[in-house]
Amino acid sequence: MPRRHTTLILAALLATASHAAAQQDTNILREATGDRAATLTEMEMQPFDSTLWSLLDNWTNGDALDAAATEGRVVLVMTWATWNPASTRVLPMVQKLKETYEDDGLLIVGVHHQQGWDNAEQTLTQRRSDILAAHDAEGEFRDAIHADQDPDFYVIDRAGQLRFADIRTESVQSAVKMLLAEDVSAASSINARLAAQAAKADAALRKPRTIQGGLDMRAMPEVPFPPPSETLYARADWPKPRKDDNNSNRNDDGPSAYPVPESGWISGVKPKTDGRAVVYYAWRLDDPRSAEIARRMERLQTQLGRDVVIAGVCTGVQSKDRSSRNDQQIEAEVFLSRIERFRRSHGLTHPMLADLGGNLFNNNNNRGSDEDYVALVVSSDSISRWDGVVADPAFRSALDRVIDVDPGVQARRAAEQAFIRARGG
Q: Which amino acid is at 314?
A: C
CA–CA gap between residue 387 and residue 281 (Å, rounded): 10
CA–CA gap between residue 157 and residue 178 (Å, rounded): 10
Quote the mean pLDDT of the chain: 81
Name the nearest CA neighbour of 315 among 288, 340, 345, 281.
Answer: 281
> Quick check: 279 pLDDT over 80?
yes
Residues 187 and 223 in one domain: no
pLDDT tens digit sequence for 56-89: 999 999 999 999 999 999 999 999 999 999 999 9
In a domain, 152, yes or no: yes
The average pLDDT across 180-203 equals: 80
User: Side-chain half-sphere of 26: how many Cα atoms within 13 Å?
Assistant: 12
The average pLDDT across 402-409 equals: 94
Residues 134 and 277 in one domain: no
Instruction: Write down the pLDDT at residue 10.
Output: 39
Name the nearest CA neighbour of 218 among 228, 230, 232, 204.
Answer: 204
Domain containing residue 266: 207-244+254-422
Name the nearest CA neighbour of 364 among 282, 245, 246.
Answer: 282
Q: What is the DSSP letter of 30?
A: B
Cα separation values, 38 from 14, 16, 19, 278, 375, Å: 16, 16, 12, 28, 26
User: Are 109 and 133 spatial neighbours (Cβ–Cβ below 8 Å)?
Assistant: yes
Residues 265 and 414 in one domain: yes
Instruction: Write down the pLDDT at residue 9.
Output: 38
Instruction: Write down the pLDDT at residue 31.
Output: 80
Q: What is the DSSP letter of 231?
A: H
User: 173: Cβ–Cβ under 8 A, 6 or more apart, which residues?
Assistant: 97
The average pLDDT across 117-142 equals: 95
Name the nearest CA neighbour of 138 among 112, 108, 166.
Answer: 112
Of residues 411 and 335, the one with the higher pLDDT is 411
Residues in a beta bridge with 46: 162
pLDDT-based confidence at 5, cuts 50/70/90?
Answer: very low
CATH number assigned to the domain comprising residue 141: 3.40.30.10
In a domain, 3, yes or no: no
Of residues 219 and 46, the one with the higher pLDDT is 46
Domains of the chain: total? 2
Residues 340 and 371 in one domain: yes
In a domain, 414, yes or no: yes
The average pLDDT across 394-410 equals: 92
Residues 171 and 275 in one domain: no
In a domain, 249, yes or no: no
Residues 186 and 237 in one domain: no
The average pLDDT across 157-173 equals: 92
> Quick check: 25 pLDDT over 90?
no
Instruction: Write down the pLDDT at residue 217.
Output: 53
Kindly write down the DSSP assignment for every residue of 279-338, as one continuous string.
EEEEEEET-HHHHHHHHHHHHHHHHHGGGEEEEEEEEEEE-TTS-EE-TTSS-HHHHHHH
In a domain, 177, yes or no: yes
> Quick check: 104 pLDDT over 50?
yes
Residues 146 and 286 in one domain: no
In a domain, 381, yes or no: yes
Residues 67 and 155 in one domain: yes
Name the nearest CA neighbour of 70 among 160, 155, 136.
Answer: 160
Instruction: Write down the pLDDT at residue 374.
Output: 87
Name the nearest CA neighbour of 407 among 209, 220, 210, 227.
Answer: 227
Name the nearest CA neighbour of 298 among 275, 317, 281.
Answer: 281
Residues 173 and 270 in one domain: no
Instruction: Write down the pLDDT at residue 336.
Output: 85
Residues 143 and 92 in one domain: yes
> Quick check: 155 pLDDT over 50?
yes
> Quick check: 96 pLDDT over 80?
yes
The listed range with the strongest mean pLDDT (60-69, 192-201, 258-267) is 60-69
- Grouping H, G, I as helix, E, B as strand and the rest as coil, residue 233 is helix
Q: Which of 57-66, 164-173, 388-397 has the lowest mean pLDDT?
A: 388-397
**Cβ of 263: how many Cβ atoms within 10 Å?**
8
pLDDT-based confidence at 115, cuts 50/70/90?
Answer: very high
pLDDT tens digit sequence for 331-381: 777 888 889 888 888 889 999 988 876 667 764 444 444 445 789 999 999
Instruction: Write down the pLDDT at residue 214.
Output: 47
In a domain, 165, yes or no: yes
Q: What angle do CA 418, 424, 425 make, to 5 degrees?
A: 65
In a domain, 76, yes or no: yes
Residues 91 and 168 in one domain: yes
> Quick check: 329 pLDDT over 80?
no
> Quick check: 244 pLDDT over 60?
no
Residues 181 and 213 in one domain: no
pLDDT-based confidence at 200, cuts 50/70/90?
Answer: low
